[in-house]
Amino acid sequence: MAIAGLALRFNESLPEQANFNGHTGTPAEVVVSIAASWSVLTLCLLGAPRLPRLLNAPFVAFGSMPLTMYCLHVLSATYIQNNVAHESTTAALVSIVAGIVLALVWKQFFAKGPLEWLMAKCINLIVVSPQPRQANTAPEFSQTSA
């Protein structure tokens, strides 16, 4: 189904509700998006354990900084659509490969993505850490005599 949807993506003769273009929200596009997501997830879950660690490294790096990669995806897609081509599969693939390369290089120097690091710092500023209880201390009760 995912392959059929991708093949029909640019078919202009289909009725509006059968439009397979991305982000249209039509029933056909939603079904194809779900099918494509399931296909990719299935391939990753089945294939990743069988691949050498070196082949998995770029995808592990990309997946370890989802907030950063999503924000870069939105920014690059906006730039590409406004300045390069409104609908370009080549530009989309270049954007994906550039994101993977950027993530792989970033992970060589830093443990977290930049936005993940910033989010962790903000959360640490907001959330109060609980104070550890001392072991073997019973609560004090005041005894009053009647």
What confidence tens digit (pLDDT) does each residue in 37-52 have? 898 889 888 988 888 8
Residues 41 and 64 in one domain: no
pLDDT at 24: 67
Enumerate residue ranges in the chain where pLDDT < 50.
Answer: none
Residues 73 and 23 in one domain: no
Residues 43 and 1 in one domain: yes
pTM of structure: 0.64
Residues 68 and 25 in one domain: no
| Structure-block tokens of residue 16 | 């509006």
- What does 14-57 look like in DSSP terms, one character per residue? S-GGG---TT---HHHHHHHHHHHHHHHHHHHHHGGGS-HHHHH
Per-residue exposure over 94-125, b if at least 16 CB sit within 10 Å of its own CB, e if not: ebeeebbebbeebbeeeebbebbeeeeeeeee
pLDDT at 107: 93
pLDDT at 37: 85
pLDDT at 49: 85
Residues 46 and 63 in one domain: no
Residue 143 lies in a domain: no
Query: What is the domain range of residue 99?
Result: 53-126
pLDDT at 4: 62
Residues 13 and 77 in one domain: no
Residue 131 lies in a domain: no
pLDDT at 12: 63
Residue 145 lies in a domain: no
Residues 46 and 67 in one domain: no
pLDDT at 23: 64
